[in-house]
Amino acid sequence: MKIVSGEKMGEIDRLAMTRFGIPGLILMENAGLQVVRLVQKIRPDRKQGKIVIFCGRGNNGGDGFVIARHLWQLGYHVETWAIGDVLEYKGDAAVNYNILLKKGYDVNRIGEKNPVAFIKGLKADDLIIDALLGTGIQRQVSGAFAEIIMAINDSIATIVSVDIPSGISADTGEVMGVAVRAHYTVTFALPKRGLLLFPGAEYTGILLVADIGIPEELASQAGIKENLVTGGYVRSQLPFRMLDSHKGSYGRVLILAGSPGMTGAAALAGEAALRGGAGLVYLGTAAELRPVLEAKLKEVIVLGFPGDGDGNLTSSGSTEILKHARGCQALALGPGLSASEETLNLLKNLAREVSVPFVVDAGGVSALSLEPDFLKEVKVPFILTPHPGEMARLVGSNTVSVQQDRWGLAARQAVEWQVVLVLKGAHTVIALPEGEIYINPTGNPVLSTAGTGDLLTGLIAALAAQGLDAEKAAICGTYLHGLAADMLAARLGQRGSKAGDILDFFPAALNKTAGLPPAEPGEHYSVKPY
């Protein structure tokens, strides 16, 4: 699913009206009805509390008037507030305002009555619909809008934002002075950039993308390079599980990992590859650490390769490692390895010889920072999985700068290095060598603990071993990894869990995605908030 700026969405709306002849009133009606559908789900009892709708002057306010009309006709107790008189509205918004008035519905006008005092009186059973400011906001929120938004945020009522939380920049996610903190956001046709970029993502709540009748030709333009990973896409890519199969049917993975004090990282990566569906998983480590890892692991086959005597893999074992790697369908290197010249030399030796997808994480990424230009020489399908600190070292920058331009930096470096780049963090970015990026919506703070990156390495390698190309393995692995964390959080909450607990939810995440039902009409996906 494409991700768009506010300006691009406006262009798509205009093309829908001019090229396809879809009236703006129809698009507005469809948008309002999609919010009504959500309200009916979260407030099935029409007698439960008030529905309070705040309507700005633009099309966002027009959506609010459509919502008011339908909820009122359905028997909900609806209170609607408009910024001004109907004469202050234009176009389709004015039409829908007029329809309400002609049906005998009383619209409160801000300025004549005090909405702030009214909001303070709302209760937990009440629901606020924010249709104040849409995607076109260009300046800081002030005056009555700011006062209303602050009062809405102080309320204990449930908050639903229409298209985007009022006060969030659709392009950058910037808070324009003050912004609504929504529990739900129903955005139309395509997700806007500001709903997925921070800090805007923190204000979005549960995000629903609603179909309002925009033709697919416009919604899937090839020129739009930013994409959102959806469960439906991942489902379509998951390897088929055949009845007539055996362990060799699902690929072999070799993971090079572990050093003194870091055998846990190696074990987690190996277990994750098995849980990710690989038929056979080999864990290569320094020979002196082999007994330790054999004691930790049952189903993973542990191999001992030449070490330095202290438990670190060395490049002297490259030839022996390559013999094993050539019988595998995916290779991974890095969990728990030291960021040394020896690790770098080992990585370089392997990258020059293997042809299968090669996942590089942790110690492997840090070793590459000693010679990042080597990435330009790599011909093998390379999947690089840095966290922001590791990314900063690779590009000679700092973590703050990386976080300020996650999407752009990932896209540029994936093209320059011709690798699949998985820049980890909230809304992980998967950047492809052709310049496309995919934003992952799954995951939560449960992932903010040691070992979760090792799980991701093993999972991506497992999917690659089962036949997914490097790009699809990275996209699908990142989504499933985050989904497992979401399922854990839904069961146990976000506090007190460790990486091994997330691993236990890998089967549930895989099976849920494999059996994902088709989206309901008009709804593409939903995302749990952090």
Residues 436, 430: Cα–Cα separation, whole Å: 9
User: Which residues share a beta bridge with 79?
Assistant: 52
pLDDT (0 to 100) of residue 298: 96
CATH no., domain 6-224: 3.40.50.10260
Count of other CB atoms within 10 angstroms of residue 501: 16
- Interacting residues of 448 by C-beta distance below 8 A, sequence separation 6+: none
CB 451 within 8 A of CB 267: no
Residues 117, 151: Cα–Cα separation, whole Å: 9
pLDDT (0 to 100) of residue 517: 55
Q: Which residues of 225-244 are buried (b: 16+ CB within 10 A; e: fewer)?
A: bbbbbbbebbbebbbeeeee
Asked whether residue 529 carries a pLDDT value surpassing 80, the answer given is: no
Residues 231, 524: Cα–Cα separation, whole Å: 9
Query: 3-class SS at 307?
Result: strand
pLDDT (0 to 100) of residue 222: 84
Summarize pLDDT for 312-352 with one digit per residue, the tens: 999 999 999 999 999 999 999 999 999 999 999 999 999 99
Query: 3-class SS at 312?
Result: coil
Summarize pLDDT for 87-146 with one digit per residue, the tens: 999 999 999 999 999 999 999 999 888 899 999 999 999 999 999 999 999 899 999 999
Summarize pLDDT for 12-25 with one digit per residue, the tens: 999 999 999 999 99
Alpha helices in 396-451 (DSSP H): 399-404, 406-417
φ/ψ of 15, rounded to 5, equals -65, -35
Asked whether residue 28 carries a pLDDT value surpassing 50, the answer given is: yes
Asked whether residue 525 carries a pLDDT value surpassing 90, the answer given is: no
Q: What six digits make up the tokens of 63? A: 């959506």
Summarize pLDDT for 2-15 with one digit per residue, the tens: 999 999 999 999 99
Residues 345, 367: Cα–Cα separation, whole Å: 9
What would the mean pLDDT of 377-397 be, rounded to a whole number? 96
When pLDDT is cut at 50, 70 and 90, the band that residue 524 belongs to is very low
pLDDT (0 to 100) of residue 521: 44
When pLDDT is cut at 50, 70 and 90, the band that residue 523 belongs to is very low
Summarize pLDDT for 170-179 with one digit per residue, the tens: 999 999 999 9
Summarize pLDDT for 251-296 with one digit per residue, the tens: 999 999 999 999 999 999 999 999 999 999 999 999 999 999 999 9
Asked whether residue 498 carries a pLDDT value surpassing 60, the answer given is: yes
Domain boundaries, the chain: 6-224, 252-512+520-527
What would the mean pLDDT of 300-305 be, rounded to a whole number? 98
Summarize pLDDT for 413-460 with one digit per residue, the tens: 999 999 999 999 999 999 999 999 999 999 999 999 999 999 999 999
CB 316 within 8 A of CB 306: yes
What would the mean pLDDT of 37-54 be, rounded to a whole number? 96
pLDDT, mean over the chain: 95
Summarize pLDDT for 225-242 with one digit per residue, the tens: 999 999 999 999 999 998
Asked whether residue 518 carries a pLDDT value surpassing 70, the answer given is: no
Q: What six digits make up the tokens of 68? A: 């008011």
At the topology level, CATH places domain 252-512+520-527 in: UDP-N-acetylmuramoyl-L-alanine:D-glutamate ligase (3.40.1190)
Q: What is the dihedral of CA 469, 472, 474, 476, to 10 degrees?
A: -140
When pLDDT is cut at 50, 70 and 90, the band that residue 516 belongs to is low
Using a CB cutoff of 8 Å and minimum separation of 24, what contacts does 344-349 make? 344/368, 344/370, 344/371, 344/374, 345/315, 345/318, 346/256, 346/313, 346/314, 346/315, 346/317, 346/318, 346/321, 348/374, 349/315, 349/318, 349/322
Residue at token pair 């994480």: 361
